[in-house]
């Protein structure tokens, strides 16, 4: 793979943790389900990686949307994490883009995961958002920059900035030095439900 060296290939979660401890990779690509039980060993290992080696980004792969796993991973840190469906890996450019983004400290969420998380939302301040603001917030949750959101929605960067400021206001996220409002908005969006 261009730009990345594979330092280890493992068969189970214990071997994954040992490999990360030994090699300290920039990113670990982890399957949600790993031997021996094929349940959530990969997710649990990913959570340990984020806690023990926060400089190692984690890109979690899953056959199906499993909201709980995505939510668990997102609560570990504010960046350097991703959750993609395996079907996205077939598109090499999209996979490389996801690797680059999580390695750079960004967050990548499969659009299907974002859609499922949106469906389980309950009535809360997020309900005050307009459909366009929800769309902008969903793209923020996918890890998109303002410019990336503008390109996706075919609007100006300043229009995106206005939507984001409106989102912050409606979610009651004041501008203070101790908090990163963009991260807080995304976390609120993902944890709703």
Question: Quick one: 94 and 157 in the same domain?
Answer: no
Whether pTM exceeds 0.75: no
End residue of a domain, out of 58, 74, 109: 109
Would residue 85 count as lying in a domain? yes
Question: 61-96 burial by CB neighbour count: b if 16+ within 10 A, else e?
Answer: bbeebbeebbbbbbebbebbbbbbbeebeeeeeebe
Residue 172 has pLDDT above 90, yes or no: no
Would residue 172 count as lying in a domain? yes
Could you report the per-residue pLDDT of 58-74, keeping only the tens digit for each?
Answer: 998 988 777 677 777 77
Question: Quick one: 163 and 188 in the same domain?
Answer: yes
Q: Return the structure tokens found at 8.
A: 């280890």
Question: Quick one: 102 and 137 in the same domain?
Answer: no
Say which range, 133-142, 152-161, 165-174, has the weakest mean pLDDT: 165-174
Mean pLDDT calculated for residue range 165-177: 85
Which structural domain range is residue 144 located in? 121-193
């Amino acid at each position: 793979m261009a730009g990345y060296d594979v330092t280890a290939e493992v068969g189970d979660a214990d071997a994954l943790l040992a490999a990360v401890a030994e090699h300290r990779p920039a990113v670990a690509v982890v399957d949600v389900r790993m031997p021996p039980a094929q349940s959530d060993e990969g997710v649990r290992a990913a959570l340990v990686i984020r806690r023990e080696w926060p400089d190692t980004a984690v890109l979690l792969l899953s056959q199906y949307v499993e909201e709980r796993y995505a939510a668990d991973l997102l609560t570990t840190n504010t960046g350097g994490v991703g959750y993609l469906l395996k079907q996205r890996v077939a598109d090499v450019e999209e996979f490389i883009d996801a690797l680059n983004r999580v390695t750079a400290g960004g967050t990548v969420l499969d659009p299907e995961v974002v859609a499922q998380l949106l469906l389980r939302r309950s009535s809360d301040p997020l309900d005050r958002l307009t459909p366009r603001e929800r769309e902008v917030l969903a793209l923020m949750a996918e890890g998109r920059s303002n410019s990336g959101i503008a390109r996706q929605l075919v609007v100006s960067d300043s229009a995106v900035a206005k939507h984001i400021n409106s989102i912050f206001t409606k979610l009651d996220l004041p501008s203070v030095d101790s908090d990163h409002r963009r991260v807080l908005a995304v976390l609120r969006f993902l944890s709703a439900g």
